[in-house]
Amino acid sequence: MNHLSPLDTAAAQSLPGISRETIAALFELPFLDLVAQAHAVHIRHHPRNAVQLSTLLSIKTGGCAEDCGYCSQSAFAKSGVKAQKLIDADTVVAAARAAKAAGSSRFCMGAAWREPKARDMPALFDMVRRVKALGLETCMTLGMLSGDQADALAEAGLDYYNHNIDTSPDYYDRVITTRSFQDRLDTLDHVRQAGMAVCCGGILGMGETREDRIGFLHALASLPEPPDSVPLNALVPIPGTMLGDMLADTPLARIDEIEFVRTVAVARITMPRSVVRLSAGRESMSEAGQALCFMAGANSIFTGDRLLTTSNNGGDADTALFAKLGLAPSS
């Protein structure tokens, strides 16, 4: 039986108008054939055996007005996370300096907001400038942005803005009701128009079907330009959140490692030049599962002990895994 090769798929060439049918066909390939195709695409566009290290810091925790069903920081959740104020720039810079010393080349700052307020913008600009002065790439995720806010952050020197679509358009309202899928796209458009790089991905294992994962990747690959960075998270089901409580009763709805690797591989083939980042949930993956993700085209991770309010693999564990696999941090 003949299977699609990278040169036979529009996905591998990142041609405009990639169809859901093409993405669905990739998901149906035998697992080893799919991973082999993804690896071939990966080494065509990215350095071999190199993985970017990023660090994520919560600069404003809890009390978010959105009802995202996965998030412990939502005001709707009963997770015990308390609302806190924006931390000061000196604390952020100290964390960024430590991240750089540990090998990170990108420093991401996240705030639990629906959108930033005008009063917060000067402090955010200061953080961007000071972190950037350390020689790090800067990224922020602050919720929705207006065009003017995106322009101002770009003027301050922000390199990347993260705003995930989270899941497929069809499954979206099963997860979030306080802002629409179109709201997400509007913010991404403001970021793109401001000249910043787009960081956009989502969360796998929220009870969605493979058809939803196909729709999720189709939505990403069909943006005016594929995201520069694509973070792929495996849901960390947190008690007190809507999805955490739901999946405690239906654990089979969570994504298994093989299906997660399939999704990484299809993301790599459909968005060949994007950085694909293993994000939240990696601490629960086996070393073999992570190795397969790297084989399938993942080339970035969040390192450090925490991601916002959830645990993460520590630097020692990542160093040991990289040594086993012959991987090295990319600059």
Look up the CATH number of the domain holding residue 301.
3.20.20.70
pLDDT at 292: 97
Cβ partners under 8 Å of residue 306, min gap 6: 58, 312
pLDDT at 170: 96
* Residue 19 belongs to a domain: no
Compute the CA torsion angle 280, 281, 282, 283 (nearest 10 deg).
Answer: 110
* Residue 38 belongs to a domain: yes
H helix intervals, 59-117: 89-101
* Residue 18 belongs to a domain: no
* Residue 315 belongs to a domain: yes
pLDDT at 240: 86
* Residue 260 belongs to a domain: yes
Number of domains in the chain: 1
Domain encompassing residue 156: 29-324
* Residue 165 belongs to a domain: yes
In angstroms, the CA 74 to CA 238 distance is 12
pLDDT at 73: 83
CA neighbor of 65 nearest in space, from 111, 110, 114: 114
E-strand ranges in the chain read 50-60, 106-111, 137-141, 160-162, 197-199, 202-204, 229-234, 275-278, 300-302, 306-307, 310-311, 328-329
pLDDT at 169: 97
Bridge partners, residue 329, by sequence: 51
Is 279:108 a contact under the CB 8 Å cutoff? no
Pairing status of strand 310-311 against strand 306-307: antiparallel
Is 320:314 a contact under the CB 8 Å cutoff? no
Chain-centroid distance of CA 261 in Å reads: 15
pLDDT at 63: 79
* Residue 1 belongs to a domain: no
CA neighbor of 52 nearest in space, from 297, 324, 227, 317: 297
pLDDT at 282: 86
Residue 253: DSSP 8-state = G
pLDDT at 305: 55
* Residue 23 belongs to a domain: no
CA distances to 294, 300, 310 from 51, rounded to whole Å, are 8, 5, 22
List the catalytic residues: 64, 68, 71, 108, 139, 199, 277
Question: Within the chain, which residues score under 50 in pLDDT?
Answer: 1-15, 307-309, 311
